[in-house]
Amino acid sequence: QIKESATLTRDVLEQHFSDLKGTLKKLLDERLLSLLQEVDVIEQESIKPLDECQKLIEHGVSTADDLLREGESAVDGDVGQENEKLCNFTKKALHIQLDSLPEVPSLVDVPCLSAQLDDCLLTILKNQIFRHGTVASRPPVQLEEFVEKPGGILVRWCKVDEDFSPQDYRLQLRKGTASAFEDAYVGSDTEFLVLHLDPHVDYQFRVCARGDGRQEWSPWSVPQLGRTTLVPHEWTAGLEGYSLSSRRNIALRNDSQSCGVLYSKAPTYSCGQTLTFRQTVGQPDRRDSLGVCVEQQNGYDSLQRDKAVCISTNGAVFVNGKEMTNQLPAVTSGSTVTFDMEVVQLGPCSNEGGNVKLRVTISSNNREVVFDWVLDQCCGSLYFGCSFSYPGWKVLVF
pLDDT the model gives residue 178: 75
Please provide the size of the chain in residues: 398
Instruction: Provide the mean pLDDT of the chain.
Output: 87
Per the CB < 8 A criterion, the answer to whether 168 and 185 are in contact is: no
Which residues, at least 6 apart from 303, have a Cβ–Cβ distance to it below 8 Å?
261, 289, 290, 291, 293, 309, 310, 318, 385, 386, 387
* The pLDDT value given to residue 350: 47
H-run or E-run covering 128: helix 120-131
Region 242-397: CATH code: 2.60.120.920
pLDDT, tens digit (0-9, with 9 covering 90-100), for 234-260: 999 989 999 999 999 999 999 988 889
The answer to whether residue 80 scores a pLDDT higher than 70 is no
Model pLDDT for residues 303-359, shown as the tens digit of each residue: 999 999 999 999 999 999 999 999 999 999 999 999 999 998 766 654 455 578 999
Confidence of residue 63 (pLDDT cuts 50, 70, 90): confident
Distance, in Å, from the CA atom of 93 to the CA atom of 89, rounded to the nearest integer, reads 6
The structural architecture, per CATH, of the domain 141-228 is Sandwich (2.60)
Residue 265 has pLDDT above 80, yes or no: yes
- Whether the per-residue pLDDT at 210 is higher than 90: the answer is yes
Instruction: Give 29's pLDDT tier (boundaries 50, 70, 90).
Output: very high
**Per-residue b/e over 3-39, b at no fewer than 16 CB within 10 Å?**
eeeeeeeeeeeeeeeeeeeeeeeeeeeeeeeeeeeee
Q: How many CB atoms lie within 10 A of CB 353?
A: 14
Phi, psi of 229 (to 5 degrees): -100, 0
pLDDT computed for residue 66 by the predictor: 77
What is the pLDDT, as a whole number, of residue 185? 97
- pTM for the model stands at 0.59
Residue 174 belongs to what H/E stretch? strand 166-175
Four-residue CA torsion sign, 89, 91, 95, 97: positive
Q: What is 293-337 written as a DSSP string?
A: ESS--TT-SSS-STTEEEE-TTSEEEETTEEEEEEPPPP-TT-EE
CA atoms within 13 A on the CB side of 95: 8
* DSSP assignments along 229-281, one per residue: -SPPP-BPTT-TTEEE-TTS-EEEE-S-S---PEEBSS--B-TTSEEEEEEE-
Closest CA to 12 of 22, 2, 1, 20: 20
- Dist. CA 374–CA 359, nearest whole Å: 9
Q: What integer is the mean pLDDT of 208-220?
A: 89
Question: Distances in Å between the alpha carbon of 343 and those of 152, 355, 379?
Answer: 23, 11, 10
> Does pLDDT of 1 surpass 50?
yes
- Residue 188: pLDDT over 90: yes
Domain ranges of the chain: 1-60+113-135, 141-228, 242-397
- 371-385 as b/e: b if 16+ CB within 10 A: eebebeeebeebbbb
Q: What percentage of the chain reaches a pLDDT higher than 70? A: 91
What pLDDT is stored for residue 206 in this prediction?
Answer: 96
- Which pLDDT score is estimated for 82? 62
pLDDT value for 20 = 93
Range picked from 56-65, 115-124, 320-329, 340-349 for highest mean pLDDT: 320-329
* DSSP H or E segment with residue 91: helix 79-95
**What residue type is assigned to position 162 of the chain?**
E
- The predicted structure's pLDDT at residue 15: 94
Residue type, 383: Y
Q: Is the confidence at residue 90, as pLDDT, over 50?
A: yes
User: Could you read off the pLDDT of 136-185 as tens digits, one per residue?
Assistant: 778 899 999 999 988 999 999 999 988 889 999 999 999 987 789 999 99
For the residues 72-84, what does the mean pLDDT come to? 67
